[in-house]
Amino acid sequence: MYVGEGESLLHNTFRRARLAAPSIIFFDEADVIAAKRGGKSSGNIAVGERLLSTLLTKMDGLEQAKGILLLAATNRPHVIDAAFIRPGRFDLVLYVPPPDLEARYEILNVHTCKMKLDNDVDLKQTEEDTELFIGAKQEGLCRETGIVALREDISATVVCNRHFQTVRNSLKPALMREEVNAYSLFMKNPSLVSSGEFKSSGNENSRYNKRWLGLVGPVSIGIISFVVLVCAKYIFAHSNHLPNKLATT
pLDDT (0 to 100) of residue 94:
81
Distance CA 66, CA 111 (A): 40
pLDDT by residue, tens only, the chain of 249 residues: 445 788 888 889 988 998 998 999 999 988 888 888 876 555 556 777 888 888 888 888 776 677 888 899 888 877 888 888 887 788 788 887 889 999 999 999 999 999 999 999 999 999 899 988 989 999 999 999 999 999 999 999 999 999 999 999 999 888 888 888 777 776 666 555 444 455 544 444 443 344 444 555 443 333 333 334 434 444 444 444 443 333 333
pLDDT (0 to 100) of residue 224:
37
What are the angstrom distances between the C-alpha of 142 and each of 123, 173, 210, 215?
11, 14, 20, 32
pLDDT (0 to 100) of residue 120:
92
- The model's pTM is 0.61
| Other beta carbons less than 10 A from residue 18's beta carbon | 14
The architecture (CATH level 2) of 101-170 comes to Orthogonal Bundle (1.10)
If you classify domain 5-98+176-236 with CATH, what class do you get?
Answer: alpha beta
Question: By C-alpha distance, which of 175, 167, 169 is closest to 148?
Answer: 167
What are the angstrom distances between the C-alpha of 148 and each of 112, 132, 156, 165, 248?
14, 23, 10, 10, 39
**H/E stretch holding 216:** strand 213-216
The SS3 of residue 89 is coil
The answer to whether 75 and 209 are in contact (CB under 8 A) is: yes
pLDDT (0 to 100) of residue 233:
45
Please state the separation of Cα 139 from the chain's center in Å: 17
Where along the chain do its domains lie?
A: 5-98+176-236, 101-170
What is the amino acid identity at position 130?
A: T
